[in-house]
Structure 1
Amino acid sequence: MLAVAAVALVLLSAPAAAADGKPAVALSRKEAGKGGEITATGSGWRPNALLMLLICGQASPGRGVIGGTNSCANADGRAVTTDARGRFSKRLPVAEPPKPCPCVVHVATVTGEQAVADVVFEVAGHPVAPLPSQTGTARLSVLAAARLEGDDGILVRFGAPASRKLVVTVGNLGSAPVKDPVFQVGTSHGVFAPAWEEQEWKGTIPPGQKARVELNVQLTSGAHGDYLVSMKYGEKVLAAQPWGVGRPWGVTLFWILLCLVVPAAVFRIGMAVVDRVRPRVGAAGAGRHRTVRLPAATAKSPKTPRAATTTTALPWFTPDSAPSENHPTTKGHS
């Protein structure tokens, strides 16, 4: 019954950040000695996310945990998984961190997108020392392998510039926070040196914390082949990722069609010009040409067989009055 009442009290005292959808953590007690136990309740976290709860020294909600997890009681930490609504409740034993207070209960995601929340907590009987000044140096390091995200559109096949996002998880291993760091992104092809371009990442990386950095990468129009994308901070190259870009076959297809269409169009235009400028014979000039007709007898082909020729009867004979060889002609009347 007392445990239920403690959980209800924690939920009622949850900070306003939970109402804004941001990760928030509330503690059942603000102070406890070594060997005690507190209950941490959270809301606004990613559903089904794995979290790690630690008591850390030399830390504050504004500056984070100075020195990273080396300032925390890692052996007495606890892991918890949020529910479908992004809430959790976990008991945490009170242990003295290796660094003096001010102390916090540090809650951070283990996998996936990073989310962190720090709540002030006082370990009774533990030494207290002022936080170190922020005159230390920031040192960024890559914590996970870099990768390129994104796909090519249909226009890239026709020579449009290919673009990707270089995603790198970096951590601050120094003693000072890094605010709005400026990275240099370079792309190189073959044996050529990379052409560096500065890009500013908006955000602050406290000491001992990590962040997901996304930088835009874009090639020139029509670029293809094997490229190497590099990221540099200061004078140190933090990551390099190969990128194979396919050939824009749409451009090749375009030139092939152009070589076929242009000659055909020129030929059709030339034929149209020739048909327009050549002379035409009109109806008036048709009468100037006379056709010479030969007589029927002259037009007869000499190759015509003799048997096929017909004899034209003389005008003073008729077929009935022509002399016959079988009937002799009688003179006078008998």
Structure 2
Amino acid sequence: MSRTPGPSAVSRAAAALAALALALLPAAPTPAAEGKPAVALSQQEAAKGAELTATGTGWPARTLVMLLVCGQNMIGGTNSCANADGVAVSVADDGRFTARLPVAEPPKPCPCVVNVASVNGDQSTVAVPLKITGHPVADLPAESGSARLAMLTGARLKGGDGVLTWFGAPPSRRFTATIGNLGSAPVKDPVFQLGTGHGVFAPQWEEARWKGTIPPGGKAEVGLDVELPAGAHGDYTVSLKYGETVLATQPWGVDRPYGVLLFWALLLVVIPTALFRLGMAVVDRFRPRPGAPGRHRGSGPAPEGAAAVTARLPKVPPAGVAGPPPPPLPWFTPEPREAGPPQTSAPSENRPTTKGHS
């Protein structure tokens, strides 16, 4: 009588087959977090002239990546890499790629890395350590602020002007740039310098601290606020510097605050108008009113004596009508004269006065 194997025997056989299959398969790269690029090498140590197989996962689909063998952990950028022996490969739709990279001798001593960077897309960068047999090894150079950070993408000025800026408020923008860490140590809370220059004048530098950490081989979008003086206008230049190296420069054209000119124009119209109205109010306050006695000659009723004199004046007849001679006025009545012969002419000093006939 044959015996049918039980469930436990079947499970043990399946587990043994799975273990055998895993042992025969080549080692796969360590899976990266979702959306984070990763690279695995077929060998961690190789001689000069050998060939490596690099496998990448999690890279942006349909982008181009560049693989370089670099010395000194790529401190200082691609100047420490074997650029002539680099390899470019396209990423598949699933974010994977496979490339065969020759182990070339970099211009700098080890420690060495295989640097994989995305040429387009989000410009991701991954550095994988590699030991090159027979290549010299030296200590890493002292890192400086300018050697660890480098500019990856162009700088931009974000923001715009508001209504207050149109009336002379200080213009402000946010200077943003993508900065990469090319060193072997993380950079925490780096202190940059922002310079603003007007026209052909040299920029005036001010320190600006960015809060954050840039890991080795990583990148970060740095955003720093920049502000100009009140009423500033014209062509300005904003520069970003780290250490002694200027990383980026961005032009900034500031419009003239025409609201200030409009304000002064209105002020020149309003103030004279207000002064004129104030002066007219003062004149109207102290102007004599009709019927007020003693304020102005001819205003108000005539005095009583003048009315009596006017009533005694004779009436003048119309032109061309003869009338009785006007009575003499009392103040024009001639004084009475003594009787005597009429004087025909005025006496002269050269001849004597005639007193009578001889």
TM (norm. structure 2) is 0.55
Runs of 5+ unmatched residues, structure 1: 306-334
**Among candidates 96, 102, 105, match of residue 98 of structure 1:** 105
Q: Give 1:157's aligned amino acid.
A: W
Matched with 1:269 is 278
2:27 is equivalent to residue 14 of structure 1: no
Aligned equivalents of 1:212, 1:14: Cα separation in 2: 26
Aligned equivalents of 1:74, 1:148: Cα separation in 2: 33
Residues 36 and 187 of structure 1, relative CA distance in 2, 3 Å threshold: closer
Matched with 1:75 is 85
Matched with 1:54 is 67
Matched with 1:41 is 57
Residues 248 and 182 of structure 1, relative CA distance in 2, 3 Å threshold: same
Partner-residue secondary structure (3-state), 2:197: strand
- The answer as to whether partners of 2:105 and 2:135 remain within 8 angstroms in 1 is no
**RMSD of Structure 2 on Structure 1 (CA):** 5.1
Cα deviation, residue 58, structure 1 = 5.7
- The answer as to whether partners of 2:65 and 2:116 remain within 8 angstroms in 1 is yes
Cα deviation, residue 279, structure 1 = 4.6
Matched with 1:323 is none
Deviations 1:235-273 (A, max 9, x none): 455555554433211111110011111221232233334
Matched with 1:196 is 205
Aligned equivalents of 1:88, 1:79: Cα separation in 2: 12
How many pairs does the alignment contain? 277
Aligned equivalents of 1:236, 1:92: Cα separation in 2: 35
Partner-residue secondary structure (3-state), 1:217: strand
Matched with 1:23 is 36
Matched with 1:249 is 258
Q: Percent identity?
A: 41
Partner-residue secondary structure (3-state), 2:194: strand
Residues 283 and 255 of structure 1, relative CA distance in 2, 3 Å threshold: closer
Deviations 1:68-103 (A, max 9, x none): 4444686352332565xxx41212115325368877
The within-5 A match list for 1:151-166 is: 151-166=160-175
The within-5 A match list for 1:84-123 is: 87-98=94-105, 106-111=115-120, 113-118=122-127
Residues 301 and 248 of structure 1, relative CA distance in 2, 3 Å threshold: farther
Matched with 1:310 is none
Cα deviation, residue 109, structure 1 = 2.3
Identify which of structures 1 and 2 has the higher relative contact order when contacts are C-alpha pairs closer than 8 Å and 6+ apart.
1
2:157 is equivalent to residue 149 of structure 1: yes
Aligned equivalents of 1:230, 1:160: Cα separation in 2: 22
Q: Give 2:226's aligned amino acid.
A: V
Matched with 1:313 is none
Q: Give 1:222's aligned amino acid.
A: G
Deviations 1:145-170 (A, max 9, x none): 96552343343221121223445566
Cα deviation, residue 226, structure 1 = 3.4
Q: Give 2:262's aligned amino acid.
A: L
Matched with 1:322 is none
Partner-residue secondary structure (3-state), 1:221: coil
Aligned equivalents of 2:257, 2:104: Cα separation in 1: 59
Residues 78 and 147 of structure 1, relative CA distance in 2, 3 Å threshold: closer
Q: Give 2:164's aligned amino acid.
A: L
- The answer as to whether partners of 1:165 and 1:215 remain within 8 angstroms in 2 is yes
Runs of 5+ unmatched residues, structure 2: 1-20, 295-299, 322-358
- The answer as to whether partners of 1:54 and 1:73 remain within 8 angstroms in 2 is no
Deviations 1:173-215 (A, max 9, x none): 77876554322222233565543211123443747x7766544
- The answer as to whether partners of 1:51 and 1:107 remain within 8 angstroms in 2 is no
The within-5 A match list for 1:222-241 is: 222-237=231-246, 240-241=249-250
Aligned equivalents of 1:174, 1:14: Cα separation in 2: 25
Cα deviation, residue 26, structure 1 = 5.7
Aligned equivalents of 1:157, 1:203: Cα separation in 2: 37
Aligned equivalents of 1:267, 1:91: Cα separation in 2: 87
Partner-residue secondary structure (3-state), 1:264: helix
Partner-residue secondary structure (3-state), 2:96: strand
Q: Give 2:88's aligned amino acid.
A: R
Aligned equivalents of 1:26, 1:108: Cα separation in 2: 11
